[in-house]
Amino acid sequence: MTEVLDYVSQSGDTVLSYLGEHIIMSIVPIGLALCFAIPLGWWAARRPVLTSVLLSMGGIAYSVPSIALFIVLPLVFGYQIISLTNIIVALTIYSTALLVRNVIDGLESVPDDVRLSATALGYGHLGRLLSVELPVAVPVIAAGLRVVTVTNVSMVSVGALIGKGGLGNLFMEGLRSDYMAPIIVGLVLSVLLALSLDGLLVMGQRWLTPWVRVRAGR
Amino acid sequence: MNDDNIVVGFVEYVGDPASWTGQDGLLWRILEHSVYTVLALAMAALIALPVGLLIGHTNRGSFLALNIANAGRALPTLGVLILVALATSIDIRPVMVALVLLGVPPILASTYAGIRNVDPDAVDAAVGMGMTGREILWRVEVPIALPLIISGLRAATLQIVSTATIAAIVALGGLGRPLLDSIATREYAQAMAAALLVAALAIAFDLVFAALTRVVVSPGVSGRRVARSRG
């Protein structure tokens, strides 16, 4: 325990900068993935063939190990291997692959009579998506977002194998110097980060779906 | 390095029989990788299935168990692996600890959900027929929950196969070996081959589970509901 405290007091600044990097590398892919997954899911919802094609592509993308994407993607797209871009692109691919399924499930969970009522009220395709279908789909999409967020926070650290892993760098530091303190600091901060982001998402979901609480309270 | 070179190098590497055979050949790496996966999956299932069945059936302790499992998802596997390796020894044990921790949450969550989602009418009917708690679990709840239980096993397998690559950082084999080595040696053709093989292995395991689902899930559960409701 004292070792851990010593380590934090000595290398606090490094730890903080790793934490900052870690936050950026976990959050940006989630935002990007939402931007890709919502249009893709909208396009595929209620089109069974397209849905199954997208989902199998997602499954295949997800089964490629992250370290492999970190090595292969820079070769394909031509950016630096040790860069924030590299980690962010790879994690965006994973996050999108996971989220598309939830967007499709969420949109398909909107009851037909709700969609028909919206159309009868004069909503166009886009208006109906934004003000009726997406809000109704929030719980299902949010469930996916929570899984993606927790997974991303844990996956960022794998980037340490190529020298860009946020808190994961602390794990490699510990391995190289045979010293547990940085590893423990990295693990604790990583779990705390995952749980706080998860908490934020739960709060966001409550705020976006006030009707769920009203219904539960009745 | 341009795209042309990678593709040419990749084809040459994969086409060379020497890449596949021998002590550090791809075939041996596939075998090592599969052994890690099967061992870790079996241990994760041994822990998560009984606990999931128990908390699903009794609905006791579920809040605690599910929250522990969810927090487990937040643990970075790389950190766990290195920490356990430093605390014990550098062999297969830290890899197993890390991979089992990865596999438990999805299996536990879906086993619990599967059992909880069983139609209460079916359980009531079983009670009415005089079944004991144990009979209800094994002859009613488990058969109905099987599709979800298997989907939890599939999710766990997918994650374990893909994460088993990091076993290589504690000097073990598996398909992570050529991947990690390529960072230092810049033999990216080898890395690409290994990456594709991991994906192929994941798909192969998934197909096994798909086949298993067909064999073990009762036709009454897997979609011939029409026939049942008619009777």
pLDDT tens digits, A173-218 = 999 998 899 999 999 999 999 999 999 999 999 998 888 777 766 5
In angstroms, the separation between the Cα of residue A46 and the nearest Cα of chain B is 20
For residue A168, what pLDDT band results from cuts at 50, 70 and 90? very high
pLDDT at A218: 56
Q: Which residue among A60, A161, A195 places its CB closest to the CB of B71?
A: A195
In angstroms, the separation between the Cα of residue A201 and the nearest Cα of chain B is 15
Q: Does A151 touch chain B (CB under 8 A)?
A: yes
pLDDT at B149: 94
**Tokens at A159, concatenated:** 């980037």
For residue A59, what pLDDT band results from cuts at 50, 70 and 90? confident
**Tokens at B207, concatenated:** 């197909």
Q: Does B215 touch chain A (CB under 8 A)?
A: no
Instruction: Over range A35-53, report the average pLDDT.
Output: 92
- A154, B191: Cβ pair inside 8 Å? no
Q: What is the pTM of this model?
A: 0.86
- B76, A190: Cβ pair inside 8 Å? yes
- A175, B176: Cβ pair inside 8 Å? no
Residues of A in contact with B73 (CB under 8 A): 147, 150-151, 154, 194
pLDDT at B1: 46
How many helices and strands (H and E) does chain A possess?
10, 0
Rounded distance between C-alpha atoms, residue A181 and residue B131, angstroms: 55
pLDDT at A217: 61
Rounded distance between C-alpha atoms, residue B109 and residue B111, angstroms: 6
What is the distance of C-alpha A3 from the center of its chain? 33
Q: Does B157 touch chain A (CB under 8 A)?
A: no
Instruction: Compute the mean pLDDT over every residue in chain A, rounded to the nearest whole number.
Output: 90
Q: Tokens 């499954």 appear where?
A: A59
pLDDT at B228: 47
pLDDT at B226: 45
Rounded distance between C-alpha atoms, residue B138 and residue B132, angstroms: 10
Provide CB contacts within 8 A for B205, sequence distance 6+.
B37, B157, B158, B161
Above 0.90 for ipTM, yes or no?
Answer: no
Q: Tokens 């939830």 appear where?
A: A102
pLDDT in tens, chain B (231 residues): 445 577 788 888 888 888 888 778 889 999 999 999 999 999 999 999 999 999 999 888 888 887 888 778 889 999 999 999 999 888 889 999 999 999 999 999 999 999 998 999 999 999 999 999 899 999 999 999 999 999 999 999 999 999 999 888 887 888 988 888 888 888 888 888 888 899 899 999 999 998 998 888 888 787 655 444 444
- Closest to A7 in 3D by CA, of A139, A188, A214, A166: A188
Residues of A in contact with B68 (CB under 8 A): none
**Per-residue model confidence as pLDDT tens digits over A131-167:** 899 998 998 999 899 989 998 999 999 999 888 889 9
3-class secondary-structure state, position A64: coil
pLDDT at B4: 58
Rounded distance between C-alpha atoms, residue A128 and residue A139, angstroms: 18
pLDDT at A158: 92
Query: Testing the interface with A: which of B78, B83, B163 to mutate, by most A Cβ within 10 A?
Result: B78
**Per-residue model confidence as pLDDT tens digits over A73-101:** 888 888 888 899 999 999 999 999 999 99
- A65, B6: Cβ pair inside 8 Å? no
